[in-house]
Structure formats: C-alpha cells, structure tokens
C-alpha cells in the first residue's frame, strides 16, 4: 500500500474518467490511497454491501466513514462510501485496521487489482453497533450520503451514482 502525495491527471486516462480529471483540475488531488484489493471476510456481500478492501497502517488517513472516489486500473471512476476502521461491531478493538470501499453502481471482482481511493468528505465517525442489522441500516444511510455528495459536487460524469 502506498500513498501518492501528488497525483497527476496523466496517471489516468482523462477521456475515460473525465469527471475525475475535472476534479483534479479544479484543485482536488489530495493524497490518494493506492493499494491492491485484498480478500475480506466476505461478510460485506452477505450484508448487502460488498466492499473492496485495502489493508492500511495506522499512519494513513483517519478512521471514519467517507464519501470518496475510487479509480480502477481501467481508468473507470466510481463514487463510493468508504469505511476506515477496525470493524469493532464484529471484532471489538482487536480488529485489523482496514479501508473498505463500497463502490456505487459497481458489480464485479476486484481482488488482486490496484485501486486508488480519494477521500472527499467525512460523513461520520466509526461506531460499534449492537448487531449487524443496525449496522446495515446505518450503511444504507451512509451510501445515500455518499451519493448525494457526489451529485452535489457534480462528479457524476463517468461516475456511477446509482446503487
């Protein structure tokens, strides 16, 4: 896992990801988290919100739930709801710190692929929920918030914003 401090438009095909090119040109380009997608516990799929997972160490980003943008190797760009934390609902404080990205409107297998995650906006802090049902209800709200953020900021060009 690496953090790229100075992303450039040239890393991405602007024709395939025009919304992201616009975002960078408009002064975006905050540190992007780049890593290879790892296998999770597959629970996300069962919960109805599959995630692409990156292992990240403690120095990278802040724990929380974020509205974000995810770029695939193809240059395709997706709005996403991203969780960074230890999944305390399931693992208490002993959980491994993970970045988990739920890509809006994406279905497919990203294991072993490189992705780049740009965190836009902190939606909320991590919480420990009493049960999986309560967590799922909150994730649905987080996803709606992430979609609203993407729409409000006009990054819907090549970015899928449907569920």
Ligand X SMILES: Cc1cc2nc3c(=O)[nH]c(=O)nc-3n(C[C@H](O)[C@H](O)[C@H](O)COP(=O)(O)O)c2cc1C
Instruction: Please check whether residue 60 is in contact with residue 1, taking contact to mean a CB–CB distance below 8 angstroms.
Output: yes
Which of 102, 147 has the CB closer to ligand X? 102
Q: How far is the CB of 118 from ligand X (least distance, A)?
A: 16
Q: How far is the CB of 4 from ligand X (least distance, A)?
A: 23
Which residue of 19, 68, 71, 81 would you call a contact of ligand X, by CB under 6 A? Answer: 81
100 binds ligand X (CB under 6 A): yes
- The CB-nearest residue to ligand X is 40
- From the CB of residue 104, how many other CB atoms can be counted at a distance below 10 Å? 19
Region binding ligand X by CB under 6 A among candidate stretches 10-18, 41-49, 110-118, 151-159: 41-49
Region binding ligand X by CB under 6 A among candidate stretches 8-16, 22-30, 38-46, 70-78: 38-46
Interacting residues with ligand X (CB under 6 A): 40-44, 47, 49, 51, 53, 65, 81, 83, 87-90, 100, 102, 126-128, 135, 139, 142
């Amino acid at each position: 896992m690496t953090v790229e401090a100075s992303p450039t438009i040239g890393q991405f095909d602007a024709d395939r990801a025009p919304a992201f090119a616009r975002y960078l040109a408009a002064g975006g380009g905050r540190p992007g988290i780049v890593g290879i997608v790892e296998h999770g516990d597959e629970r996300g799929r069962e919960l109805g919100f599959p995630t692409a997972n990156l292992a990240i160490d403690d120095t990278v980003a802040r724990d929380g739930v974020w509205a974000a943008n995810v770029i695939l190797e193809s240059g395709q760009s997706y709005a996403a709801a991203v969780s960074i934390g230890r999944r305390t609902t399931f693992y208490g404080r002993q959980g491994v710190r993970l970045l988990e990205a739920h890509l809006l409107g994406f279905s497919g297998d990203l294991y072993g692929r490189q992705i780049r995650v740009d965190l836009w906006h902190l939606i909320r802090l991590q919480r420990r929920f009493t049960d999986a049902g309560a967590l799922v209800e909150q994730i649905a709200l987080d996803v709606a918030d992430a979609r609203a953020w993407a729409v409000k900021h006009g990054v819907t060009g090549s970015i899928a914003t449907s569920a």
